[in-house]
Amino acid sequence: MSDVAFAPDGRHLATAGFYDHTVRVWDPMAPGTAPVLIEGHESAVNSVAFGADGRWVASAGNDATVRVWEWDGTSPPVTLEGHDGRVGAVAFNADGLLVVSGGRDGTVRVWRWQSPASAVSLQRRGSEVYEVAFHPDGSTVATADDEFAILRPCPVCGPMPEAVALAEGRTARPGSNDASARVRADRPRPIPAEPARR
């Protein structure tokens, strides 16, 4: 397994299958119960995350897709396409309406996944993106790659304070004792919407 995530209420646990390409949803209070098996990815699943209401599970895979499923596997997933290569990280925002993903292509994409499945690219660097997270208020996306942890304003995630420049991001080396930080000016770039496949 390559990743695990609890539902917000703790009633379910999702696991990402690296070798069997599946997502499994377990009842942690009944360890002897067979999990819900969710199949659809064409290669390794690298990351899983639950939405705020515990109904939806997002997964990211080596097949260059992000998929959003009902936890019980009763309906086909919404498939989000646009990354070029493996997608290594996925997360929901606080209300579950947005998904952020990061991949080997160095991009970070924010998706309004329900309908329409549009995406905004917040970052394009040479390094693979390994982790992504929303700030609880939804205004900022944090990412980690080989070199930096980056905090980047998210213009599609909600109202931005007027005093914050849209293109301003603060970067610092993760794990570094150097307290200095550099200000980047990578302007978020809208990208063409990819149709959602159900």
pLDDT digits (tens, 9 = 90+) for 158-175: 543 322 222 334 444 444
Q: What is the pTM of this model?
A: 0.78
Cβ partners under 8 Å of residue 45, min gap 6: 2, 3, 16, 17, 18, 21, 22, 23, 59, 60, 61, 62
**Highest mean pLDDT: which of 50-59, 127-136, 151-160?**
50-59
Every domain of the chain and the residues it spans? 3-190
CA separation for the pair 141, 134 (Å, rounded): 5
Q: Which two tokens stand for residue 191?
A: 């990208």
Longest pairwise C-alpha distance within the chain? 54
| Among candidate residues 198, 41, 190, the one with its CA nearest the CA of residue 118 | 190
More confident residue, 148 or 106: 106
Q: Read off the pLDDT of residues 60-99 as tens digits, 9 standing for 90 and up.
A: 999 999 999 999 988 899 999 989 999 999 999 999 999 9
Name the CATH code of domain 3-190 (choices 3.40.640.10, 1.10.3720.10, 3.40.50.300, 2.130.10.10). Answer: 2.130.10.10
Q: Which of 11-20, 26-35, 188-197 has the lowest mean pLDDT?
A: 188-197
CA angle in degrees (0–180, nearest 5) for 116-118-123: 165
Q: Specify the pLDDT at position 166.
A: 25
pLDDT, average across residues 132-160:
81
